[in-house]
A and B are shown apart, each in its own frame.
Chain A
Amino acid sequence: MNVLKLVARNLLSRKGRFLFTLLGITIGMASFVALMSIGQNMRNEVTAQAYSLGGNFVIVPDDLCVFNQIGIITGDAISERLDFAEFEKIAAIEGLDVIPHLTRRMMIYNPTAGAQQPTTVTGILPAETKTFRNWDMYAGEYFSSQDHEAIIIGQGIMNRFDLGVGDELEVRRGEMFTVVGILASTSSNDDTNVFMPLSVAQRVFDREGSVSYMSATVDDMARFDYFYASIHSVANNVNVATNEQLLGAVLTIIGSVNVTLQAVAGVALIAAAFGIINTMMTAVYERRREIGIMRAIGGRSSVIFRIFVIESGLYGLLGGILGIVVGIIVSVFAAPIIQGDEMLMGLEAGVNIDAVLIVSAIGFSLVISILSGLFPAWKASKLTPVEAIS
């Protein structure tokens, strides 16, 4: 006989109570883990995509708010308010490699969903962008000229909408284009984009002479301040944002969403903690006699205290482990629903469970349950043998 075996006996001899208390903390932990993993996944996706933009910074209209800048990272369309003329001035700066983008929305029929779904179509300078982005072809061929009337799609679009080379898409009402090629996967939001030559896009969408934003890269980031000044001196109404700045802005927004989600999970956890306190207090009351007997035959109050703390700690440990398992299952089922959200359509929603999350979730659950057990355990240990038995 040792303390652990005794605790196991105590828990298992009250199976119903044990299971329901465990269920409480499991639900609390599961919601916590699910929300954390979904949130963490968003962060990771956004970070990965910010670094895959291909440039060290972007040039955007100076009145573009932070919220709209998310579009650049998630691959959503942002309004086209930059002049192509500004692009040409900026492109002339020595040591600066810059490409323009014109982004618009289009609808594609998704045979799986049985409905039209929105995606982003981007006008690009074919030759410059291919070099800038290091693109390879997965199938078909690349644009043959600056005004090739055709589209190229990312692999994500191919899979999602079940498309292949030779398929026709209606980019805008009455404007049918043939898919001539499919890009090799870049693991960036290029995978979930439809591309066409910039001049063709400008014509189709009646946006002659306009672009949405530019991606830029410099030979030496140490000279960033110089380029920053140069860009502002040659171009008007533009703002320069480094990828880090964009990322920071987006992460701030995601962060505040996460805080809200975690607060909800926190409430669930607090409820679970009170469940443990309640169970343990009831146990102390019910088991007065048992505690008294243990004290009478020589059990020290510190041992009684330990028995009760371990009992409640076990709730936390088991609840934490079960909560992680259930939380993972929930986030796996929730991922496609999040994927369907328009605002996040460029993001591969998924589950992100790493060792840190698992360890911290179990640790957290353990700490909460031990804290919940302290008061009941203290009450139990303070019973004198005689008052407990009689």
Chain B
Amino acid sequence: MSDCIIRVENLEKIYGKSSVKTYALKGINMQIPRGSFSCIIGKSGHGKSTLMQLIGGLDRATSGNVFIDGVNISDLSDAKLSELRAKKIGFVFQFFNLLENLSALENIQIAMMFGGVPAKEQKKAEDLLKLVGLFDKAAAKPNELSGGQQQKISIARALANDPDVLLMDEPTGNLDSESEKDVMEHIYNVHKTGKTIVMVTHNNELAKQAEHVFEIYDGKLKVV
């Protein structure tokens, strides 16, 4: 059990109040071993993003528990949950979600700032840019970068505080196949450094390469 960095127990999520309720997750149980590469697949609207958000502490479950490294994050205060998001988990979104006012480098630095790294010690942001091969774009604003480049910046940002877990919600869903290959290359490289990766994808080819595949169907886990 101790080698499972993520453990999900009877997780339920209901959106909306009284009249229009959406039962997005209907009791999910799953375990993800440390250092593994897992994929979550499933049809649109069946709850993949919801599950990722709950694992990543971006939202709170209606009931059930998520354990990260043995800590039940449902019990964490808002501040502790923020700290978890800053240091323990890196999140990569389908639509990149970079801050438009900030340069590529600053987008990584601000994540370090939230992780408690003082401005003087944010040099590592440059190394992360080099890691994704975009050091020459340090000063570029997100709108001056291609989709693939933006996603690589956001992977670098997710790595800012050296988290154990990377959660990626369709990281290549918005990219052409050329860029997808490039971005996946970087993701595999990151995985080789020992990070646990959970990735939502619609691409079955990609899912085939994962060590574990979970399929979500109508808010429930379908055994693959």
Contact = CB atoms under 8 A, between A and B. Distances in A.
Contacts of A300: 78-79, 82-83, 114
B109 A1 contact: yes
Interface stretch (A34-42, A113-121, A381-389): A381-389
Nearest to B88: A298
B220 to A, nearest CB: 21
B157 interface: yes
A385 B82 CA distance: 10
Interface stretch (B4-12, B35-43, B96-104, B179-187): B96-104
A323 B92 CA distance: 45
Interface residues of A, number: 25
A297 B85 contact: yes
A385 B115 CA distance: 16
A335 interface: no
A385 B89 CA distance: 14
Interface string A235-251: 00000000000000000
Contacts of B98: 293
A296 interface: yes
Nearest to B80: A300
B78 A301 contact: yes
Given A1-B112, A10-B101, A385-B58, A296 B85 contact: yes
Contacts of B172: none
Contacts of A298: 82-87, 111, 114-115, 161
Contacts of A360: none
A290 interface: yes
Given A293-B99, A294-B99, A296-B97, A303 B114 contact: yes
Contacts of A296: 56, 58, 85, 91, 93, 97
Interface string B184-205: 0000000000000000000000
Given A297-B91, A384-B59, A386-B53, A290 B86 contact: no
B79 A302 contact: yes
Nearest to B78: A301
A301 B80 CA distance: 11
Contacts of A9: 101-102, 106
A190 B217 CA distance: 98
Contacts of B101: 9-10, 13, 290
Interface in B116-170: 118-119, 122, 157-158, 160-161
A5 interface: yes
Interface residues of B, number: 35
B175 interface: no
B210 interface: no
Best-surrounded residue of A10, A298, A301 (most CB of chain B within 10 A): A298
A6 interface: yes
Given A1-B119, A389-B97, A297 B114 contact: yes
Contact of B122 (A1, A13, A294): A1
A6 B102 CA distance: 8
Contact of A290 (B99, B106, B114, B118): B99
Contacts of B56: 296
Interface in A1-48: 1-3, 5-6, 9-10, 13
B221 interface: no
A299 interface: yes
Interface string A117-154: 00000000000000000000000000000000000000
A295 interface: yes
Interface string B61-85: 0000000000000000011001111
Contacts of B122: 1
A299 B82 CA distance: 6
Given A297-B86, A297-B91, A297-B157, A1 B110 contact: yes
Interface string A290-327: 10011111111111000000000000000000000000
6 contacts: A2-B118, A295-B58, A298-B83, A300-B78, A300-B83, A385-B59
